[in-house]
Homo-oligomer: A and B are copies of this chain.
Amino acid sequence: MSKLAIGIDLGGTSIKGGLVSGTTGLVRERTIDTNADEGPTAVLDRIADLVRELTVDAGFANLHGVGVGAPGVINWDRTTISYPPNFPGWDVVNLGKELSSRLEHPLVTVVENDANAAGLGSAHYGAGKRFDSFIMVTLGTGVGGAIIYQNRIFRGSTGAAGEIGHMTIDYEGPFARSGVAGAIEAYLGQRFLSRHARYKLMNRRDSLIHQMADKDLMGITPRMLFDAAVSGDEGAIEVLSWAGHKLGCVLGSAANLLDIRKFVVGGGLSGAGGYILDSARETLVRFVLPGLSEGLEIVQETAGNDVGMLGAAHLIFQHIDEKGLHSG
C-alpha cells in the first residue's frame, strides 16, 4: 500500500486539505471556511473534522501524518505556530498535540511556514519540479518567498528564511508594512500595486480599468489589472511591466547572494503572468553578476493554489524518509 499523508494549507479565510499518496499524488481534496473569528478551539475542531473526512476510507492505519502550512512564526522543531496574523486568540499552539487529542489517535504532525510549504509543493508537484534549487516568490497581499535548495526548504537560523518580500531595492524607497524602505512588497504587495495603478491610470481615461473599477479607482485590484492586461489594455500592461521590473531587481540580488538561478513565481497571476515575468526576465540579467548569468530562468507556478497543500503533505513524506516509518 502506498504511503498516505494529509496536507493542510491553513489560510486566514479558507483551509484547504488534501489526502496525498506518495506514489500517485492527490487522492482527494476539500476546502472549508476558516472562520478565524470563532477562535482557536473552533478552528482546530474544524481542522480535525477535515482530517477525519479526508481519511474516511483510508483509515488512520495507513495515514503517516498530517503536514500543515500555516502563517505566523513556526518553531525550529516544526511543532508549533506562534501568533498567526489574522487569527484572533491564538498564541502558541502545538498543532500535533491538538489534532491527536481531537482525533483520539497519535498523529505525526509537521508544521511549516505557509510560504515554505508552497515552495516545497512546487519543488515536488509544481513548476519547481524541473529544478533542484530555486527561489519561490508568491505574490498576494504581501510578497512571500521560500528558498528551495537541493530539493529541501532552506530554513535559516530559526526557520524563518525566505522573506524575499522584505529585501530592499531602494534604500530611500517607499515603506512596506514592515517598515523596510524600498522593500519589494512596497511595489508588488496588493495594496501597493493597486495604489501605483491608481495614480498611473488616473488620467488615462481610455484604460479598461476605469470601467472595471466602476469609475472608482480606489477599488482597483491586482485581479482587475491582470484581466485588463489580458484584454490588451496598454495602461494595465505598463503597470505590470513596472512591477516586473522591480521583481527582476530583487531576484537579481537574491541570485548574486545564493547562486540560485531559477525562480518560480506564484500567486494567481493566471494569464497575466507573462506581462510581469517578461519584464522581470529583462531586468534580472542586468542585476546579476555577469559570471552568474548563465541558466537564469523565471517561470510561473502552474499548480496554482494547490502547491501549499501538496507541499504540506510532502513534509510528512520527507519526515518518513529521515526518521523511518515508525518514529513519531
Contacts and interface: CB of A to CB of B under 8 A. Distances in A.
Contact of A168 (B73, B245, B287): B287
Contact of A259 (B160, B181, B257, B259): B160
Copies of this polypeptide in the complex:
2
A181 B287 contact: yes
A154 to B, nearest CB: 8
A73 B291 contact: yes
Given A166-B256, A260-B156, A171 B290 contact: no
A157 interface: yes
A167 interface: yes
A24 interface: no
A209 interface: no
A160 B288 CA distance: 12
A249 B157 contact: no
A288 to B, nearest CB: 7
Interface in A68-114: 73
Interface in A139-188: 145, 147, 154-164, 166-172, 178-182
Interface centre among A158, A245, A259 (most CB of B within 10 A): A259
Contacts of A162: 257, 259
Interface string A223-258: 000000000000000000000011001001110111
A253 B156 CA distance: 14
A261 interface: yes
Given A163-B292, A291-B160, A286 B179 contact: yes
- 9 residue pairs, one from A and one from B, having the closest CB atoms: A156-B259, A161-B259, A167-B253, A166-B256, A163-B256, A160-B259, A171-B249, A166-B289, A169-B171
A260 B260 CA distance: 17
9 contacts: A133-B156, A147-B257, A162-B259, A166-B256, A168-B253, A170-B170, A170-B171, A170-B172, A171-B245
Contacts of A169: 168-171, 182
A161 B258 CA distance: 5
Nearest to A159: B259
A257 B256 contact: no
